[in-house]
Each structure stands twice: as C-alpha cells, then as structure tokens.
Amino acid sequence: MNDERILIRRAGPLRGEVAIPGAKNSVLKLMAATLLADGTSTLTNVPDIVDVGIMGDLLAAIGVRSERVGPDTVRMVNDGNISPVAPYELVERIRASINVLGPLLGRFGRVSLSLPGGDDFGSRPIDMHLKGLEAMGATFELRHGVVEARAERLHGADITLDFPSVGATENILTAAVHAKGTTVIDNAAREPEIADLCNFLVAMGAHIGGIGSSTLVIEGVEPGQLHAADHQVVPDRIQAATYLAAVAVSGGEVVLRGARADHMEMLLRRFRDMGLSITTIGGALDGSDAGGGLAVWAEGRLRSIDVATLPYPGIATDYKPLIVTMLAVADGVGIVTENLYPGRFRYVEELQRLGADIRADGHHAVVRGVPQLSGAPVRAPDIRAGAALVVAGLAADGETSVAGVHHVDRGYDDLVGRLAALGADIERVDAPA
Ligand code: EPU
C-alpha cells in the first residue's frame, strides 16, 4: 500500500471547467456483464480509477481480458474460455466482485465465489442476491467463506426485493437474461447505473422492459444468444457532486462538463436550498445531452438543511460525507440521517479534527456549522469520506493533509489534478519517512 498524502491549503474561488468521468458503480458492473457473451466489447467514458484495474484482474482470472486502448476506452475480450471461479485475493478487494455471480450462474450454471469485501461500513450481507437467485432455481452452499452456486438452467420468477438493493437487482438481472421464461423484479433499485447496465444488456441482445423503473421485466434468451456490444458509461454523479461541494465551500463559478442533472435532481434541489446556484447548460433541457453539463456558482456562506439518505431517487448515501462537510461550514444546524448503512459516520472524527462541530449517534448526525475549519492531518476511511476530507481541506485555514489516499484512488479519476486545474491549492506528496 502506498502512503501518499494529499495536501490542501485554502485558496480563492474555484473557476473553470471540469470534465466528469464515467461512473465507477456503472463501469464495474458493465465489465462483469461482458462475461455474458463471447466477443469483444468496447466501453468508453471509462474512468481511470484503481477499481477498474481490480475488476480487470478479477475478470482476467475468470477468463475475460481487459485492455485500456485509449485514455477513457477499455476493450473487453471474452474468447469463451471461462472458468467460473473467483479467487479470494481479488474478490476481497472490491464489493462489485459480487457482480460476477449473476452472469456466471445464468450462463454456466455454476460459480465458486469468495464473499466480497470493499468498503468497510458495518456488515454488508448478500442475502437478497441469494434469495432472488434461489427463486430462479439456484442452490447455494457457503463453506469456509466461499459461496458455491449451482443451477441446471435458471427459470424465470416473480421476485419482490425487501429493499431496492443495487447489487441484488444487478445480480438477478444479469442472471435473468439467460433464464428460461420471464423474470419480474419488483422493488428493483432505480439508480441511473442500473439503467446503464440494462441498456448495455439490451445492446447485447437481452430483452428487458421497465428500464429506469422499480419493476424490471426480463425475458430470458438461450445461453449463447447474447453478443458483445459497445457502450458509453454514464457520468459519475458522485464525482460530479464532489466538484459541486468543492465550489460550495470555496466559492466560485465552475462548469461540470458531462454531468447529468436528470441523474441528480434531488441532490441539486437540496444544494440549491443550501444557497448554490446551479443550471443545466447545453443540449437538451433534461441535461441528457452528453455535450452539456451543469454550471454552478457559489458566493457567501451556505445555509444549513436537514437531509436523510434514501435509495434513488432519494439522496444517495455516497453523497452524505460531502453534505456533512458542507454543513460543517454552513450557517445553522443540520441533521443528517443515514438510512442505508450502520456505522457510516466514521469520517466524522476526522472532520472533528478539522474543527467541525458534529455529534453523531447511531444513524444520525447533528452538524452545527462553524465559520471556518482549521487544517490538520486526517486519514480517509473510505472512498467517499476521503473525497469529503479533501473538500473539507478546501474550507480549512492552513494546511490539511489527507492520508489513506489509496481509498480515494479507488473511485476518483485524478481528483487532485482536476481540483488544481480549477485553482485549488492542492498536491499529492509521498508521506515523510
Ligand atoms: N443489503 C442487505 N442484503 C443484501 C443486499 C444489501 O441487507 O442482500 C443492505 C446492505 O447491507 C446495505 C443496503 O442494503 O445496508 C444497501 O445495499 P445495496 O445492495 O443497495 O448496495 P451495494 O450494491 O452493496 C452499491 C454501491 C455503493 C453504494 C450503495 C448504495 C457499488 C459497487 N457499490 O453498493 O457504493 O453506497 O450501492 O447506493 O455499486 C461507493 O461507491 O463508495 C459505494 C460504497
């Protein structure tokens, strides 16, 4: 593990334009979906992040090669030589490794998969994934941390998820494309990254109705009928939100090229409530034109709001560390409620080191805004919290040094370079020996 740090010093308003890279939580699933068909698929708008490399290594161990053929283009080659065994050393590194389960089970009828790792926020079970796949005829045995999955040929089923789990929706979906008959997923997750996966599967020849809604209807095709396809990854709404938060605490005027307002509606509304001015620019009014984006202006102090995280279209849990950081310097008191994960307030102690006034208890945090944070050494506990600490550094007097940069690299494509280009005083340095 490298021990680099990000050093941030408060600078004037941010100005300029930043290109928003493709979404981590889409591209990893798209890569896993290339297990479904032989041939070469080309993915564009692929972010240059560590998790893409890890997913590439995992798929290479299973039998799909990935190759970066351009700055944002990855070619995935599936020549049909698949071994449905996902080794622990790779699986434990990212949560999205669980996404090989659906494609492999649906197409090959067997998988041997170690339980996935990823960010450590409390326990992250996969019971809904397994229950859904069981309803389609799969059997599972869990031995020594390895899930052994079997199915002769999956059959369609009516599945109602207890909760709109992103991962469970994706695994059931990617298994159902090869099941015999019709699968209906009710209370499906509706995140834009799920619609992106659906659109890729449709380009591969799958039959999916209800894309973007909470009821997905999948007509299975015979294994062997899907084909490789090319696809452009949707922009990363969490990275986009990070640049919005950076402008919010620094002031300034920035264009987020490629950001999609229609994927971030609730968040944009709440950011406007806090005092940000945000408009959609270029292209269609719904922001769906890839050439368009968002323009954001911020001046003066932010206003506090209360926020609760919810599944899409609610405020994503991944935005929360950024929102807490903005509230930490806003005028007033904000109450933040986490509804998705237990124990996802770990970064609060780090923000407190920077002078934030936050009381976190169970699922709630009460954030009393202070006029100014003060720079200090802090450590990123996970991807999103790491980015939020960098944003906090922009609002802090003196120097903030963020360790645990490898977390940030998992999900952010050159955060430091992008912020520096907007005028932030920020650099990456090796940790002193
Ligand atoms: N859950 C269960 N049982 C299941 C599945 C989920 O109890 O079978 C619970 C989880 O423990 C959690 C909640 O349901 O409390 C949400 O889990 P979900 O399955 O929706 O999330 P995920 O697929 O594991 C993805 C993202 C996360 C993001 C969540 C919620 C990926 C690789 N990860 O996780 O992103 O926080 O959805 O939106 O797509 C990140 O990018 O930093 C990140 C953590």
| Residue whose CB lies within 8 A of the most ligand 1 atoms, among 26, 54, 55, 95, for a mutation test | 95
170 C-alpha vs ligand 1 centroid, how far in Å?
11
Kindly report the protein residue whose alpha carbon is nearest to atom 44 of ligand 1.
119
pLDDT digits (tens, 9 = 90+) for 104-141: 999 999 999 987 765 554 456 889 999 999 999 999 99
Rounded percentage of the chain residues whose pLDDT exceeds 90 = 86
**Cα gap 78→244, rounded to integer Å:** 38
State if residue 171 touches ligand 1 by the CB under 6 angstroms criterion.
no
**Contact by Cβ (8 Å): 35, 107:** yes
**Contact by Cβ (8 Å): 318, 340:** no
Kindly report the protein residue whose alpha carbon is nearest to atom 5 of ligand 1.
126
Report the amino acid identity of residue 371: P
Sequence-distant (≥ 6) Cβ neighbours of residue 360 within 8 angstroms: 345, 348, 366
Kindly report the protein residue whose alpha carbon is nearest to atom 21 of ligand 1.
166
**Cα gap 37→82, rounded to integer Å:** 11
- Picking from 129, 172, 163, the residue whose alpha carbon sits closest to that of residue 147 is 129
**Contact by Cβ (8 Å): 228, 33:** no
**Cα gap 300→221, rounded to integer Å:** 57
Indicate which residue of 38, 57, 72, 119 is catalytic: 119
**Cα gap 417→83, rounded to integer Å:** 39
Domains of the chain: 5-21+235-429 (3.65.10.10), 24-232 (3.65.10.10)
pLDDT at 116: 72
Active site residue 72: no
pLDDT digits (tens, 9 = 90+) for 39-90: 999 999 999 999 999 999 999 999 999 999 999 999 999 999 999 999 888 8
Higher pLDDT, 91 or 357: 357
| Residue whose CB lies within 8 A of the most ligand 1 atoms, among 163, 234, 309, 409, for a mutation test | 163
State if residue 318 touches ligand 1 by the CB under 6 angstroms criterion.
yes
The pLDDT mean for the chain works out to 94
pLDDT at 186: 98
Determine the 3-state secondary structure of 180 from DSSP. Answer: strand
For residue 55, the cross-strand partners are none
